[in-house]
């Protein structure tokens, strides 16, 4: 139960202030009240010099009288705090420094996380140190003051805490890897991916799954992660490449099976009645492309690669946005229904698709372009498509 003299402050992954079991509301989490409280409570042990506090609060303001602005913000904040039931005089001003009263203890998750990390760093026993790191990591819940990340001091603190988290994770992963404790490794990998998304922590979980001989789960995670990064960022994750994929594939072993059991497994859930091209993920497309390079050299096949890009009316590639999302879905459908069943398609990013036309001619590429244009473009549409075509050359002759 929260002690009456403690103010519970969460700054990692969210920003909340709780007093006697009730949250203190002060408008949006990037209001002047929230910004002031974030600063004073984070630096409650030392206080903040008035000039620095003005710089932190009004860094994007052109006011000629920051002293008056600060006094107004402090006055309004005191009223809100008194209304929330806190004793008067919580915010103090002494010797040019604004601070939080020592009569009310501030328990902030960010400072607690830092304290736990420092305690773990000083532990000599490796196993105990890992337990302490794990305890610290479980108290890291994401970005520092996530609604205030445009402010310089917040960015600096967020970077510092994020690096602490990374250091703890790397220490634990190395320890778990060395002791073959892949179950613990999988748990911390999944947690890291949740609290620090789009940071490549999925590779830790993949490695742990392979260590547990769960190769199919590792492959599924790989494919899902690539799709997630492409959807959120429009680019493939930094770890994408043949190394992770090959490591997974090389260790995928199955029980003894008959041919009539293996072929359906290889075919998967692909419906042979589906018309149009084969849509696949980028790693699968890359594997097919590399196989084609080998086959062309000896078989004499003619394969063309088309890069299809959504462009603005001025001919520039479109950037992120709701409009691009809709156009990307429409282009996907237009491409799939414009190519043959044997042709391969993948989305490279939100504005670009790759098409591999098998056993075709340069003239056929133009025909495919016309089909896609007719299905993609609508009357009065200002955006368009740009095509780049390249002949796939064989290797290993």
Residue 326 lies in a domain: yes
pLDDT at 247 over 70: no
pLDDT of residue 321: 74
DSSP string, 35-49: HHHHHHHHTTTT-EE
Structure confidence at residue 93 as a pLDDT band (50, 70, 90) = very high
Does any domain span residue 66?
yes
Burial of residue 138 (CB within 10 Å: 0-12, 13-18, 19+) is middle
What pLDDT is recorded for position 109?
A: 96
CATH number at residue 338: 3.30.70.270
- Of 59-73, 205-219, 322-336, which range is least confident? 59-73
Tokens 């039931």 locate to 85
Q: Is 76 domain-assigned?
A: yes
Residue 2: pLDDT band (50, 70, 90) is very low
- State mean pLDDT over 89-113: 94
d(CA 343, CA 279): 9
The more confident residue out of 245 and 206 is: 206
Residue 271 belongs to some domain of the structure = no
Q: What is the span of the domain harbouring residue 93?
A: 6-108
- Say if 17 falls within a structural domain: yes
Q: Which residues contact 46 (CB under 8 A, 6 or more apart)?
A: 99
What mean pLDDT is predicted for residues 154-175?
A: 95
Q: What ranges make up the beta strands (E) of 155-296?
A: 278-279
Last residue of a domain, one of 50, 85, 108: 108
In a domain, residue 190? The reply is no
Provide the pLDDT for residue 19.
92
According to DSSP, the residues that pair with 387 across neighbouring strands are 308
Is residue 374 situated within a structural domain?
yes
Total domains in the fold of the chain: 2
CATH number at residue 101: 1.10.10.10
Residue corresponding to tokens 């020592």: 102
Give a yes or no: residue 45 inside a domain: yes
* Tens of pLDDT, residues 298-319: 656 789 999 999 998 888 888 7
């Amino acid at each position: 139960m929260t002690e009456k003299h403690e103010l519970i402050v969460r700054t990692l992954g969210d920003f909340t202030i709780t007093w006697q079991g009730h949250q203190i509301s002060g408008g949006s989490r990037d209001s002047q009240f929230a910004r002031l409280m974030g600063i004073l409570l984070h630096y409650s042990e030392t206080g903040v010099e008035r000039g620095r506090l003005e710089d932190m609060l009004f860094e994007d303001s052109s006011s000629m009288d920051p002293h008056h602005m600060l006094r107004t913000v402090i006055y309004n904040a005191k009223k809100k705090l008194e209304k929330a039931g806190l004793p008067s005089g919580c915010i103090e001003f002494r010797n040019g420094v604004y601070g939080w009263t020592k009569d009310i203890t501030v328990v902030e998750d960010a400072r607690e996380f830092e304290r736990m990390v420092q305690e773990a760093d000083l532990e000599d026993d490796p196993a105990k140190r890992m337990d302490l790191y794990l305890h610290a990591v479980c108290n890291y819940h994401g970005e520092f003051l996530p609604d205030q990340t445009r402010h310089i001091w917040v960015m600096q603190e967020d970077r510092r805490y994020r690096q602490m988290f990374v250091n703890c994770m790397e220490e634990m992963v190395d320890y778990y890897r060395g002791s073959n404790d892949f179950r613990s490794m999988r748990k911390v990998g999944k947690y890291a991916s949740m609290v620090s998304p789009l940071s490549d922590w999925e590779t830790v979980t993949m490695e742990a799954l392979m260590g547990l001989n769960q190769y199919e789960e590792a492959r599924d995670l790989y494919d899902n992660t690539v799709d997630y990064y492409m959807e959120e960022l429009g680019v493939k994750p930094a770890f994408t490449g043949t190394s992770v994929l090959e490591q997974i594939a090389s260790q995928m072993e199955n029980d003894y099976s008959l041919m009539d059991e293996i072929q359906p497994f290889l075919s998967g859930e692909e419906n042979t009645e589906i018309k149009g091209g084969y849509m696949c993920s980028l790693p699968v497309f890359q594997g097919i492309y590399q196989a084609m390079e080998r086959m062309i050299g000896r078989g004499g096949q003619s394969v063309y690669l088309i890069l299809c890009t959504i462009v603005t009316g001025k001919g520039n590639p479109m950037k992120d946005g709701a409009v691009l999302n809709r156009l990307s879905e429409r282009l996907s459908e237009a491409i799939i229904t414009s190519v043959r069943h044997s042709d391969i398609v993948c989305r490279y990013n939100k504005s670009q698709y790759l098409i591999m036309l098998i056993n075709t001619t340069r003239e056929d590429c133009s025909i495919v372009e016309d089909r896609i244009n007719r299905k993609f473009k609508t009357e009065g549409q200002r955006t368009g498509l740009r095509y780049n075509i390249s002949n796939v050359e064989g290797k290993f002759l």
